[in-house]
Amino acid sequence: MADTTLWTRQPGFFLYTVYTAIKALVKLPLLMLLYTIPRFRPLREWTHQQAFARALTRLIFEYASVVEFSPAQCHEPGKEKDRFVTIEPFAPSQNDQEQKPSIYAGIAKPDPDAVKPATIGGTWFPSPLSPDSPSSRAHTPRRPRPRVFLHFHGGAYVLFDCRDRDMSFGARLLLGAASGSDPEAAAAAAYVLCPQYRLASHAHPSGGRFPAALQDAITSYAHLVLRLGVDARDVVLSGDSAGGNLALALLRYLEETKVLPLPGGAVLWSPWTDLGVPLAELRARREDRLDIVPPLLVEWACRVFLPEKLGDGYEGAKVCENPYISPVKRGIETEVPIWVQIGGTEIIKEDILRWVEVQKQAGARLRVYEIPNAPHDMFMAGEGLGFVKECGQAAEDAIRFLDGRE
């Protein structure tokens, strides 16, 4: 369990909450008035809504980072009802003649005294997929099998969830782009499964340090392929921010271990590609005054997510050098097509572009799509920040890329 600070415990938590409330009551009305004049907005190209929404979002993230406010995770269906499912981890199959190896191998191998596979939740969009769904049947030219997007939500491994409140906008992006303009295909064009992988913070004493999220990603992918009978070629790994980091870790794992077949593609939104960037460097970047992500959130996330050591020889400060944690350190040798979106003003833009070059050197088929003037993580924040049209166009570009219609 991570060390807590003064502001994560009472009475510090209460005091900082009161301070933030007073700060918001004073600062936000002033900004709302100030931003009516374009020259006073952080970026002239932003609308009044975009400038104000960015300020509000940044304030919320700063508060959450200081008090380390992480959402509780539960396996109750809630308002998602039958769209929320629980997914059990996999155990090796055994009989008298054969013992199949565990799907959790190498860096994801369970540690009896620490991190091991656990039961997780997940939310389906627009409805649950079952073995009888079209994706599990033979396809025809008239009704091809739909894609199944396995989407890992963002939040720096400490925030957000798989529920509607965080994922509905992004899921609509994927489903809408996949259905296109064909009304007959719209009903079965795609499904989205968003797993509730374990978070890492003091609010989760069961432990969410690496490789907990990777184990949960393996569980959810195997659930699609082994339990539901989805053809792996119909699965698209998807993720925003930390979820993009997790999608890349899963793709690397599948390529290196060969324990499960490869997916048909990967779609990444502002993926977190380098967890080793110093806090001072992040604060010095021009984008820090334009983005929604405060460097303090990155500091908190790394402190509670990174393990003290890894089984492959990376220890201490070198943990973040592991390519499973910082994919910029080594490209993935894969033929799986990768589409990646970046925001023009996001603080980790240069890290993503460094990873793009590393991945190109590994021979990957890769496409980069930039949303100009956009902050970090449009998949989750695009609606609230006023980039709905731009996000829709990005999702459509991703589908064209996956279809080979570049």
Question: For every one of its 406 residues, what pLDDT tens digit does the chain have, with 9 covering 90 and above?
Answer: 344 578 989 999 999 999 999 999 999 999 999 999 999 999 999 999 999 999 999 999 999 999 999 888 899 999 999 999 999 999 865 443 445 678 999 999 988 777 899 999 999 999 998 766 555 544 434 346 789 999 999 999 999 999 999 999 999 999 999 987 554 454 457 999 999 999 997 655 557 899 999 999 999 999 999 999 999 999 999 999 999 999 999 999 999 999 999 999 999 999 999 999 999 999 999 999 999 999 999 999 999 999 877 765 555 457 899 999 999 999 999 999 999 999 999 999 999 999 999 999 999 999 999 999 999 999 999 999 999 999 999 999 999 999 987 6
Provide CATH code, domain 75-402.
3.40.50.1820
The C-alpha atoms of residue 114 and residue 55 are separated, in whole angstroms, by 39
How many Cα atoms within 13 Å fall on the side-chain side of residue 250? 34
- So which residues are the catalytic ones? 241
The C-alpha atoms of residue 289 and residue 291 are separated, in whole angstroms, by 6
Answer whether 117's CB lies under 8 Å from 206's CB.
no
Q: Which secondary structure element, helix H or strand E, spans residue 222, and what is its range?
A: helix 212-222
Output the CA torsion 212→214→216→219 (10° steps).
-140
Give the rounded distance of the alpha carbon of 223 from its chain centre: 19
Domain boundaries, the chain: 1-67, 75-402
Task: Number of helices (H) and strands (E) in the chain: give both, helices first.
Answer: 11, 8
Q: Give me the pLDDT at residue 248, please.
A: 98
Q: Which secondary structure element, helix H or strand E, spans residue 388, and what is its range?
A: helix 388-402
Q: Give me the pLDDT at residue 96, please.
A: 38
The C-alpha atoms of residue 292 and residue 340 are separated, in whole angstroms, by 19
The C-alpha atoms of residue 325 and residue 140 are separated, in whole angstroms, by 40
Residue 149 bridge partners (DSSP): 192, 236
Answer whether 345's CB lies under 8 Å from 291's CB.
yes
Answer whether 191's CB lies under 8 Å from 280's CB.
no
Give pTM, 2 decimals.
0.93
Answer whether 376's CB lies under 8 Å from 293's CB.
yes
The C-alpha atoms of residue 283 and residue 77 are separated, in whole angstroms, by 40
At residue 225, the 3 state secondary structure works out as: helix
Q: How many Cβ atoms are within 10 Å of 357's Cβ, its own excluded?
A: 10
For 310, the token pair is 């890894």
